[in-house]
Amino acid sequence: MTHATEQMGAFVVEGKIDLPATFSVGAVASRFFIEIRDNKRIMGLRCPECNRVYVPPRATCKRCFGQLSEWVEVSDKGTLLAYAIAYQPNPAQPVETPIVYGIVQLDGADTGLVHILGEAAFERLKTGLRLEAVFKEKRVGNILDIKYFRPLR
């Protein structure tokens, strides 16, 4: 006895299916993004055990595994720790190439935040450069509400 599908042979139906979905970034990242969106404030979490301030915030200290719950505001100014220039276009990049990514340690934070650098001539980039955040006028609640970091004027 054969099945009806075996008698028909294989067939393919091409098309698209929309699967609407929502993604939650969790309580910690939600507060981080809401503060940027609503108040143009960059917040971190301080470890009660080792006093490290994490930006971007995280729920657990990576050094001592303490639970983090003390929110602290950090500066929108900081120091460039490292940078890289991407020349190859990539659909995931939020701006056209070449694009400069930097690790910025904000004043008041003990960790670095990876973000885009703007308004900076490539030949003037160097570690130790002082930077400030430039916020978008219309913010929606994600990391790109910080448009980029630029050299301090």
Per-residue pLDDT of 40-58, as tens digits, reads: 999 999 999 999 999 999 9
Count of domains observed in the chain: 1
So what's the pLDDT on residue 16? Answer: 87
Answer whether residue 14 is part of any domain: no
**Residue 6 counted as domain residue:** no
d(CA 110, CA 130) in angstroms, rounded, equals 16
Q: What is the mean pLDDT of residues 99-114?
A: 97
Task: Give pLDDT, residue 31.
Answer: 96
Whether residue 82 is predicted with pLDDT greater than 90 in this model: the reply is yes
pLDDT one-digit tens code per residue, 9-50:
677 878 888 888 777 889 999 999 999 999 999 999 999 999
19 domain residue, yes or no: no
The reported pTM is 0.83
For 9: left if phi > 0, alpha if psi spans -120 to 50, otherwise beta; the answer is: left
What is the DSSP code (8-state) at residue 33? H
Helices (H) and strands (E) in the chain, counts: 2, 8
The answer to whether residue 5 is domain-embedded is: no
Does residue 73 register a pLDDT over 80? yes
User: What pLDDT was estimated at residue 91?
Assistant: 87
**Token pair belonging to 105:** 């340690």
Q: Which domain holds residue 100?
A: 24-151
Residue 15 counted as domain residue: no
Q: How far apart are CA 135 and CA 142, in angstroms?
A: 11
pLDDT of residue 7: 66
Does 53 reside within a domain? yes
Tell whether 61 is covered by a domain: yes
Whole-angstrom distance, CA of residue 43 vs CA of residue 36: 8
